[in-house]
């Protein structure tokens, strides 16, 4: 069964690149270009994982992650923040807001899909 990913990203170039790389490897991709729509689509589309930009119109990535965490039906859905390499503080803040992990921008086409696949496969968290 093909995995469905939701990409919440307002930069068209980043969105199309991620979508292209993921579809080439058989993922189904749906997209939202603002935070509020991203939350709605997370609930309606029931994706296997969510890729989340931080700087977004309507609701930023921190607000989106915090909102998604309020919905128990999304507990098993990893939230992968896509953060700028330079913005170290972003990573800590987005993890605190509820992200499962992060990958760095600019996207590396050679490793991107493998990184995402790892999060999707590990989506059932082990109890600690």
Interface pick for Mn ion out of 48, 53, 67, 90 (rule CB under 5 A): 53
Count of residues near Mn ion by CB under 5 A: 3
Nearest to 99 by CA among 107, 87, 91: 91
Helices (H), 25-127: 35-45, 61-68, 88-97, 112-121
Which residue, 14 or 117, is less far from Mn ion as judged by CB?
14
Measured at the CA of 69, the angle between CA 80 and CA 57, to 5 degrees, comes to: 65
Is residue 10 within the footprint of Mn ion (CB under 5 A)? yes
**Between 35-45 and 61-68, two packed helices, what is the crossing angle to 10 degrees?**
30
Which residue, 26 or 89, is less far from Mn ion as judged by CB?
89
Interface pick for Mn ion out of 4, 37, 55, 120 (rule CB under 5 A): 55
Q: What separation, in Å, do the N-terminal and C-terminal C-alpha atoms of the chain show?
A: 29
Which residue, 63 or 123, is less far from Mn ion as judged by CB?
63
Measured torsion, CA atoms of residues 55, 35, 8, 33, in degrees rounded to the nearest 10? -90
Q: Which residue is nearest to Mn ion (CB)?
A: 55
Pick the stretch among 47-55, 57-65, 79-87, 109-117 that binds Mn ion (CB under 5 A). 47-55
Pick the stretch among 48-56, 87-95, 101-109, 113-121 that binds Mn ion (CB under 5 A). 48-56
Residues 86-125 interacting with Mn ion (rule: CB under 5 A): none
């Amino acid at each position: 069964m093909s995995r469905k990913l939701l990409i919440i990203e307002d930069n068209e170039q980043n969105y199309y690149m991620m979508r292209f790389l993921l579809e080439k490897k058989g993922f189904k991709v749906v997209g939202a270009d603002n935070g509020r729509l991203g939350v709605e689509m997370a609930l309606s589309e029931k994706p296997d994982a969510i890729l989340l930009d931080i700087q977004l119109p309507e609701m930023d990535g921190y607000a989106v992650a915090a909102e998604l965490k309020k919905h128990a039906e999304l507990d098993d859905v990893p939230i992968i923040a896509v953060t700028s390499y330079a913005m170290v503080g972003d990573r800590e803040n987005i993890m605190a807001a509820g992200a499962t992990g992060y990958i760095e921008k600019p996207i590396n086409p050679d490793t991107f899909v493998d990184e995402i696949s790892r999060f999707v496969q590990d989506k059932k968290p082990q109890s600690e």
